[in-house]
Structure 1
Amino acid sequence: MAFNVSLPMVTIKRNFAAVPEKLKQTPLYNLHNEKRGKMVPFAGWSMPVHYANQGILSEHLHTREYASLFDVSHMLQFRILGKDRIRFLESLVVADIEEMPFGASVLSVFTNENGGIIDDTVICKHADHLYVVSNAACADKDLDHIRTKIGEFQKKGGWVDLKVIDDRALLALQGPLAAEILKKLCDKDLSDFKFMTSRFIHFKTIESHVSRSGYTGEDGFEISVSASSSQRLAKLILGYPSVHLAGLGARDSLRLEAGLCLYGHDLDDSITPHLFDLKNPLGKRRRVEGGFLGADRILAQLKEGVTRRRVGLIVEGAPARENSEIYNSSDELVGKVTSGGPSPTLNKNIAMGYVKSGYHKNGTLLKVKVRNKLQDAKIVKMPFVPSKYHK
């Protein structure tokens, strides 16, 4: 393939923090070393960016065609318990959890008092608890925020508790063959297992919490499994030749093609739900009732509109990276890139960013400054690569 990419630069390298004295290790750390994973510091964890016998480009394309197994055990997993758990969590996120059926999952965001996004999160509703996953880089901040709010809620008589899940790994099997592989391991028909739903499944006696979701735009599953069983399950999955391991590099380039945001880059506490949209995570009932942090500002934006909009761009010339400036045809600065790089699937350079409202419509011609040179760019609909979720 003639297309030359340098995928680690998309977002992975800029997420590397200064190496602490001791990085945390996931339960699959020994497996990564056995499979010659290139380990890097990421959000305080030692994580594989890619594997020596494959490389990021190969892992990316394999995920799109077959299936790849990602270790995402660095993500924060926790449960919200107690009879008032829904009322409590709805005070912190914009989703309509009350109306969700048991087994359903939803992508939502934690907001602050100004309506800015503290973190994005996936919430799974079960009969006796809410299972929540949020970002590793925001784990300490999220927990401090939630614990503070729990204390305030309990002082007012609310019955709620937080249980951090620190004894389980989290695996993501992503790609068009993912369901076929898991079907063989659990001997169940998974055709009625829809996108953004979750259930408990045993894989060869290994108990797991499974959500049909992911971060690649492909069909896939995120599997929460006990730390002690995680290597066994990973090796069972990798026993199928169609499954390869993949690291943070491919995970990042895949999510960019899928038009999915990365917190700290495409999302932060200055961005409100209406700015980044993603089919607007604000539940219908919540638009009327509010009741979450920053509701006044967010509901006002719903009526009045916003001054910036998140967009997708096809960029001519060199790849446009984070903070590249976006200009209109009159060379007026109208926005900035938040994520960008080569798309292995499209053989083009793509980017996401925020532009002034009015410049966000599909087909709008703009320019992006890369290496002090203005390059042509065009607004396109996201996702860049069509999603293949099992709906």
Structure 2
Amino acid sequence: MTDPSTDAPLKQTPLHALHLALGVRMVPFAGYEMPLQYKAGLMAEHLHTRRKAGLFDVSHMGQLKITARSGSNADAATALETLIPADVLSLGAGRQRYGLLTNEDGGICDDLMFANMGDWFYVVVNAACKDADADRIEAAIGNRVTVERCFDRALLALQGPAAEAVLAPICPDAAAMRFMDVRETRIMDTPVIISRSGYTGEDGFEISVAAKDAEHVADALLANENVLPVGLGARDSLRLEAGLCLYGSDLDTTTSPVEASLMWSIQKARKPGGSRAGGYPGAGEVEAQLAQGTQRVRVGLQATGRAPVRGGAPLFADPNGATQVGVVTSGAFGPSVDHPVAMGYVAPAHAGTGMPLYAELRGRFVPVTVAALPFTPARFKR
């Protein structure tokens, strides 16, 4: 299979052979050949994850190991704070946070997860951005840290209310972990890095493992009757129901943390008036938007009827399409809530929950309502 945008051969994850053996529809995604759905189908995979546990291959994501050249992890944290508007310095060992890489205009270059591993930082970035992210970090702070690109490692996500019951018998450390804990441990005899986190709104774990051991770990998890393999299709509908952004759709370099309603990811110490406010790319623009407001804001959207409103659909204030006030950035049918779910950006005057809008869908203007996010409540283990 080749990448339709470049005709270059697509990369394969360490679990490619297992996907084929399980019966799967593969698609190009971020330069990789990735599973879209398995025999059970998207709807069944989605609902099974909400009710029991789904296993996702997310090995296309980029994994980085960042170590201070001085040997002090505090120095690495201080360096990262010049690129990420989050409180890295106060993050305790064994804990993880969500963060943003920003540009000089306050736009989002990527969103990521970063974890304090005690004497180094573990960072997971998006697949399509991973080389650019690593280059950006090295160019900006490479004199203070070393950046190891661990792009050959596999990454699995076990998500759903049964995730702990599935993982704990083969990884006893998992049971004691809470949301956003991370640690180096073992699954059976295999060294892994696990975090209690995910991209579905459910309790669950992300498991980083050497490529040679990936199928061994995946087989052990799939042997449990509560686990079903899940592809990118259900991953998208699950994250949409959970109100989580997809980089390249809901976030990009022209979108600021304020517009994206992601200011919760910038802790008090890094906000105006905080002890380490600013100091990251675009801080002045972000702080100006906080003070003065923005021309658009990310919201949830619920369409009338059963047809999903997809990304790119313009949003109007009136049923005749006379006044455009925003655009849908991602949308799908939400199997758990049994109605279409979407997110988009609208002018603040039209962003109130319950506000009626109209999306253009194949030449028709479909009623949509601004909805509170998430569509399904998070079920993390606090």
Alignment of 1:133-144 (within 5 A): 133-144=124-135
Give the corresponding residue for 1:239: 223
Give the corresponding residue for 2:52: 66
1:106-161 Cα shifts (integer Å, max 9, x gaps): 1111000111000000001121101000100112221221222134xx2xxxx311
**Which has the larger displacement, 375-384 or 280-289?**
280-289
Distance 1:22 1:95 in 2: 37
Give the secondary structure class of the aligned counterpart of 1:260: coil
Give the corresponding residue for 1:49: 36
- State whether structure 2 residue 307 is matched by structure 1 residue 322: no
Distance 1:22 1:380 in 2: 41
**TM-score, normalisation: structure 1:** 0.91
Which of 297, 312, 319 in structure 1 is aligned with 2:300?
312
Cα RMSD, aligned residues only: 1.5
Which of 27, 31, 47 in structure 1 is aligned with 2:18?
31
Give the secondary structure class of the aligned counterpart of 1:303: helix
**TM-score, normalisation: structure 2:** 0.93
Gaps of 5+ in 1: 1-15
Give the secondary structure class of the aligned counterpart of 2:290: helix
Regions of 4+ moved over 6 Å: none
**Which has the larger displacement, 216-225 or 21-30?**
21-30
Paired residues of 2:52 and 2:162 also in contact (CA < 8 A): yes
**Which has the larger displacement, 34-43 or 252-261?**
34-43
Distance 2:30 2:226 in 1: 30
Give the corresponding residue for 1:274: 258
Distance 2:292 2:301 in 1: 26
Distance 1:259 1:387 in 2: 10
- State whether structure 2 residue 70 is matched by structure 1 residue 81: no
Give the secondary structure class of the aligned counterpart of 2:350: coil
Alignment of 1:1-391 (within 5 A): 17-18=4-5, 20-51=7-38, 53-82=39-68, 83=72, 84-151=75-142, 154=143, 159-188=144-173, 190=175, 192-278=176-262, 280-287=264-271, 288=274, 289-317=277-305, 318-329=307-318, 331-391=322-382
Letter in 2 for 1:28: L
1:228-260 Cα shifts (integer Å, max 9, x gaps): 111111000011011011111111111111111
1:293-328 Cα shifts (integer Å, max 9, x gaps): 111111111222222110001101332111111111
Structure-2 change in CA distance of 1:116 and 1:243 (3 Å): same
Letter in 1 for 2:292: E
Paired residues of 2:332 and 2:340 also in contact (CA < 8 A): yes
Give the secondary structure class of the aligned counterpart of 2:17: helix
Distance 1:278 1:387 in 2: 16
Letter in 2 for 1:104: R
Letter in 2 for 1:178: A
